[in-house]
Amino acid sequence: MEKSELTGLLQSGNRRALARMITGIENELPEYDKMLEELHFADVPVIGFTGPPGAGKSTLINAFTDHLLQLNKKVAILAVDPSSPFNKGSLLGDRLRMSEHYLNPNVFIRSMASRGSLGGLAPRVFEACDVLRAAGFDFILIETVGVGQSEVEIAALADTSVLVLVPEAGDEIQTIKSGIMEIADVFVLNKSDRDGADLFYKNLLMLSHSHAENNWETPVVKTVASKKEGMDALMNAILAHRGHESIQLKKTRLLAMKALNYIRNYRTRDISLSSLSLELEQELNKAGNFNLYRFVKRYIS
């Protein structure tokens, strides 16, 4: 299939072309990188859902997707799963958790393997997200692996970052706020029907108020995703953030971070962990004192 034909099918909403395009990008095939230059990107809201494991991110996304479908919206979901230790591919857990929407023609669900990335995202998720923006969706939802405070990478991708917490995290709020709390545009207290939810909710409100800036105080939304409760409030909070003047400043910063990420990937495309390991093994077997900085200089000089 010619490049122009594939990109034409993609922009007309063809799901097979969309899946093929993302696969080509994940596998870092040069011709697909060139296709990215042909695409026209719509201003589609990209909503990132992050938070610690067990917070109910997948259940929340499932409930929020149902809410968007009732509003006649088309939704794309990128779920970044932990990599399989055997083939480095996604474990496809999202397809089990979101089976309710998997066959819906207005929903596109894609698993992407983290491949060991510590930022909670897959290495080529930036490009995959842009492909989705060109494919006629109304909302793009991204779920991170759930690895704790290293998930700040989502702030470089999403227009609005939703931090999902549960009442049990109340005792850890002092440590949480020193990391991923700062990247949240919306706080969601999920499983808010549990004991301790009211106290944690008040603490989140106080934290939000103390971190308010640029005329924006991060909303705190209560949800019970398993019962699909609180979705209207979540939608309103996301739309309020999207309409706030600060998001325009954030978009420029996001584009700069995306550009830096793409340039970094492009410049290191010929370097892999396996090849570095092999070279290092050969160097270490040589006589003499090994110096890591002399070794890496061959790649950066």
Q: What is the mean pLDDT of residues 83-109?
A: 60
> Tell me, what's the pLDDT at 210?
81
> Tell me, what's the pLDDT at 240?
93
Q: Which residues have a Cβ under 8 Å from the Cβ of 299 and sit 6 or more positions away?
A: 271
pLDDT at residue 154 is higher than 90: no
Taking only the tens place, the pLDDT of each residue in 223-266 is 999 999 999 999 999 999 988 877 777 777 777 877 887 787 77
Q: What confidence category does residue 222 fall into, taking pLDDT thresholds of 50, 70 and 90?
A: very high
* Secondary structure of residue 51 in the 3-state scheme: coil
Could you tell me the domains of the chain? 1-40 (no CATH), 41-265 (3.40.50.300), 274-300 (no CATH)
* Secondary structure of residue 220 in the 3-state scheme: strand
Residue type, position 144, single letter: T
Give ∠ CA 57-63-67 in degrees, rounded to 5. Answer: 135
> Tell me, what's the pLDDT at 252?
78
DSSP-assigned letter for residue 167: G
pLDDT at residue 91 is higher than 60: no
If residue 201 lies in a helix (H) or strand (E), which one and from where to where? helix 197-210
Cα–Cα distance, 140 to 76 (Å, whole number): 5
DSSP-assigned letter for residue 159: S
Residue 225, CA atoms < 13 Å, CB-side half-sphere: 23
Closest CA to 102 of 81, 83, 77, 125: 77
Closest CA to 163 of 184, 147, 148: 184
Q: What is the mean pLDDT of residues 171-200?
A: 78
pTM, two decimals, is 0.81
Q: What is the mean pLDDT of residues 75-99?
A: 57
